[in-house]
């Protein structure tokens, strides 16, 4: 979410750039940082920088980031030739880059070559099955083709891996609502409320879904979530105030004839009405009369109100517009909402129009009324069967879920990482299957009980479930953005290298190394920029050391080298003769491919497994029994 200060900063900078005041590059950097969509302006000002060789050369390594940004904006604006040229430049520079491969797949998608784009995305997922961008692009591509069922399938597969992605849960909920699958949408909003309980929009959306589902229990729960929305917004959510009034009215209708405990007190509705009237007086006084009329009609949505007539249908009973009333109700009693009309009699065409719109003209002793059947009271099984007072407990949506403990591998000091929630086993749907392959991101400071390691983020993947414990294994590592920004300084050279390695237990990883040059011990000059030839030598040395360290051990031993920076210190020591380095880190690790699951190996990682060798037990002397010779039958 973009804060108000960031939004105002973006607007002021945008006006400055539009008026020719300069700052094009700063504007493009801010758009990229805030992740806002300004495709037309990014294309315009980005191309201007790229076409100017002087400006482009001054960007340094950021030039390639700008090429990527302009390519995406060009695809969004359907300037496919511009996007193709930018991607071609990036492919020439980074021939084996998977990131450029994503751009090529997106270009195929923008051209409408769905089959080729699907093939490209599948190839990228084979190399990296947990690539979030590729998974999301497949969902977007399915929606673009109108394949809603395919989008739901891909979103569910994505959420099995990335359970904490709130945007994906919200997208899935909106798709379910568009298909009128309200129970599934309610489940999605439950997950959102669980992960972000202080966001009022999730409470409001969940209440809307429950109100749409209807029923006494759902209306009671919806009323609670409307109330929580009002609480979180400080009473400033008009939609939630209207929701309180609607739920109270609906509960009053459905609870008629039941126990007094199930009936709602009108106090909350009166408070909501007061808040609405106050809000309308301040913000829209000209529409206050409409609000008053609507609230009065809402308060009269009751079968015992003066505008409702109770009639007894039967073979010789009353008829509405020539239609026997017995055809519209299966119960012994019907309530009809009536509104007065001006004319006493209606013509044949008017009667036909009324019948087609489910409105009927009826003559009563007090006059002629325009009537429609009230669907809420048309069918009441409890009243018709004479079962009064039947009480049904309101079910908690989270009552069908269970908590599981997340266990980290034994190489970390803190084994108990946290808890996760999953729907308990029902029928053929097993809870443990829903937990497997979930990815959790934890700070290394929490795992090692050391705040000095707070800049490292460790990713753990659920591999197996033992009772109420979810056994995880290492699945990646990354630095926080604030740590990376604190390392980057002027007057020094940043050197990066990455390499794909394979451990002795068949894990394929991609390791990223970062280093910075420093001044020599006797150097007076302030700057410490390395030459291109020195950078190439250092990068070659980085790759050699990373390959040697990773290929000579298993995953558990390799992770133990990341926590105290063993590999970084070795690189720093090995490159002293080329150029002195500082702040050498393995900043990121991604697991590209994992071997076939082995429970024994997992238990070794968790330290709960040891080979049972057995011990020799000697029989006491007094227990020795001399056995007689035995005859073998059939010998």
Report angle CA 212, 159, 460 to the nearest 5 degrees: 140
Question: What's the whole-number mean pLDDT along residues 226-230?
Answer: 92
DSSP string of 485-507?
Answer: HHH--TTB-EEEEEEEEE-TTS-
Q: What percent of the chain has pLDDT over 90?
A: 27
pLDDT at 230 > cutoff 60? yes
Q: Which CATH number applies to 163-308?
A: 1.25.40.10
Question: What's the whole-number mean pLDDT along residues 597-604?
Answer: 85
Q: What is the pLDDT of residues 440-478, one digit of tens each?
A: 999 999 898 888 888 999 999 999 888 888 999 999 999
Q: Enter the pTM of the model.
A: 0.48
* Residues paired with residue 621 on neighbouring β-strands, in sequence order: none
- Domain limits of the chain? 163-308, 336-373, 401-606
pLDDT at 158 > cutoff 80? yes
* The pairing of beta strand 581-593 with beta strand 469-479: antiparallel
What is the spatial distance between Cα 330 and Cα 373, in angstroms, rounded to a whole number? 13
Query: In a 3-state reduction of DSSP, which class is residue 305?
Result: coil
Query: Are the C-beta atoms of 233 and 269 separated by less than 8 Å?
Result: no
Check residues 625 and 525 and name the one with the higher pLDDT.
Answer: 525
Q: What percent of the chain has pLDDT over 70?
A: 78
DSSP 263: S
Q: Given this model, what pLDDT does residue 461 score?
A: 93
CATH of 401-606, picked from 3.40.50.300, 3.40.50.720, 3.40.50.2000, 3.30.479.30, is 3.30.479.30
Query: Are the C-beta atoms of 280 and 288 separated by less than 8 Å?
Result: yes
Of 195-204, 310-319, 588-597, minimum mean pLDDT range: 310-319
Count the alpha carbons within 13 Å of 449 in the hemisphere toward its beta carbon: 6
Long-range contacts of 437-440 (CB under 8 A, 24+ apart): 437/160, 437/161, 437/461, 437/462, 437/463, 438/160, 438/161, 438/163, 438/462, 438/470, 439/130, 439/161, 439/162, 439/163, 439/475, 440/164, 440/406, 440/472
Q: Is the fold of 163-308 the same as that of 401-606?
A: no
Question: What's the whole-number mean pLDDT along residues 522-532?
Answer: 87
pLDDT tier at 524 (50, 70, 90 boundaries)?
Answer: confident
What is the spatial distance between Cα 517 and Cα 402, in angstroms, rounded to a whole number? 51
pLDDT averaged over every residue in the chain = 79
pLDDT tier at 170 (50, 70, 90 boundaries)?
Answer: very high
Q: Given this model, what pLDDT does residue 550 score?
A: 92
Check residues 118 and 355 and name the one with the higher pLDDT.
Answer: 118
Tokens representing residue 232 in the block: 């979180």
Q: What is the pLDDT of residues 362-418, one digit of tens each?
A: 544 444 444 544 333 333 444 444 445 555 566 677 778 888 899 999 888 888 989
Q: Given this model, what pLDDT does residue 485 score?
A: 87
What is the spatial distance between Cα 589 and Cα 550, in angstroms, rounded to a whole number? 12
pLDDT tier at 546 (50, 70, 90 boundaries)?
Answer: very high
Q: What is the pLDDT of residues 38-85, one digit of tens each?
A: 898 899 888 888 888 888 888 888 889 899 989 999 998 989 999 999
Closest to 528 (Cα-Cα) out of 580, 569, 477: 580
What is the spatial distance between Cα 586 and Cα 512, in angstroms, rounded to a whole number? 6
């Amino acid at each position: 979410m973009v804060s108000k200060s960031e939004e105002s900063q973006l607007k002021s900078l945008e006006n400055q750039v539009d008026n020719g005041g300069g700052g094009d590059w700063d504007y493009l950097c801010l758009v990229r940082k805030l992740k806002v969509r300004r495709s037309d302006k990014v294309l315009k000002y980005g191309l201007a920088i790229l076409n100017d060789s002087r400006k482009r050369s001054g960007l340094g390594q950021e030039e390639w980031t700008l090429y990527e940004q302009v390519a995406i904006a060009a695809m969004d604006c359907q300037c496919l030739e511009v996007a193709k040229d930018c991607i071609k430049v990036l492919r020439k520079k980074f021939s084996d880059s998977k990131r450029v491969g994503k751009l090529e797949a997106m270009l195929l998608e923008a051209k409408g070559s769905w089959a080729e784009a699907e093939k490209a995305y599948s190839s990228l997922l084979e190399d990296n099955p947990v690539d979030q961008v590729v998974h999301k692009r497949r969902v977007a591509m399915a929606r673009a083709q109108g394949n809603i069922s395919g989008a739901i399938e891909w979103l569910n597969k994505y959420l099995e891996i990335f359970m904490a992605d709130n945007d994906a849960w919200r997208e899935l909920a909106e798709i379910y609502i568009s298909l009128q699958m309200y129970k599934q949408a309610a489940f999605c909003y439950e997950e959102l409320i669980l992960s972000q309980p202080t966001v009022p929009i999730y409470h409001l959306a969940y209440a809307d879904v429950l109100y749409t589902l209807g029923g006494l229990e759902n209306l009671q729960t919806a009323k609670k979530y409307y109330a929580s929305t009002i609480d979180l917004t400080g009473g400033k959510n008009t939609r939630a105030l209207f929701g309180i009034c609607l739920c109270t009215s609906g509960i009053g209708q459905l609870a008629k004839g039941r126990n007094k405990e199930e009936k709602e007190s009108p106090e909350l509705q009166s408070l909501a009405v007061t808040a609405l009237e106050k809000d309308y007086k301040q913000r829209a006084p000209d529409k206050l009369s409409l609000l008053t009329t609507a609230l009065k009609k809402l308060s009269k949505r009751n079968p015992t109100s003066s505008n409702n007539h109770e009639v007894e249908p039967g073979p010789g009973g009353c008829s509405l517009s020539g239609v026997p009333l017995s055809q519209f109700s299966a119960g012994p009693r019907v309530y009809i909402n009536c509104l007065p009309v001006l004319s006493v009699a209606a013509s044949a065409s008017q009667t036909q129009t009324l019948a087609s719109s489910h409105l009927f003209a009826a003559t009563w002793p007090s006059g002629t009324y325009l009537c429609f059947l009230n669907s809420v009271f048309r069918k009441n099984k409890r009243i018709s069967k004479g079962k009064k007072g039947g009480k049904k407990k309101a079910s908690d949506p989270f009552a069908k879920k269970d908590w599981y403990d997340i266990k980290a591998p034994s190489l970390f000091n803190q084994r108990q990482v946290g808890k996760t929630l999953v729907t308990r086993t029902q029928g053929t749907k097993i809870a443990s299957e829903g937990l497997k392959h979930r990815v959790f991101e934890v700070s290394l400071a929490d795992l090692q009980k050391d705040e000095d390691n707070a800049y490292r983020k460790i990713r753990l993947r659920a591999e197996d479930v033992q009772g109420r414990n979810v056994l995880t294994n290492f699945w990646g590592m990354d630095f926080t953005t604030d740590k990376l920004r604190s390392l980057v300084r002027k007057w020094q050279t940043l050197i990066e290298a990455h390499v794909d390695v394979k451990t002795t237990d068949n894990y394929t990883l991609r390791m990223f190394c970062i280093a910075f040059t420093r001044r020599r011990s006797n150097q007076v000059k302030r700057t410490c920029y390395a030459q291109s030839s020195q950078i190439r030598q250092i990068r070659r040395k980085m790759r050699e050391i990373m390959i040697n360290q990773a290929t000579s051990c298993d995953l558990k031993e390799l992770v133990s080298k990341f926590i105290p920076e063993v590999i970084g210190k070795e690189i720093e020591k090995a490159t002293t003769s080329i150029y002195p380095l500082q702040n050498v880190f393995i900043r990121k690790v991604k697991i590209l491919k994992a071997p076939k699951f082995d429970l024994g190996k997992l238990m070794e990682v968790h330290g709960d497994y040891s080979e049972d060798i057995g011990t020799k037990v000697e029989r006491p002397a007094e227990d020795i029994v001399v056995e007689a010779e035995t005859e073998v039958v059939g010998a």
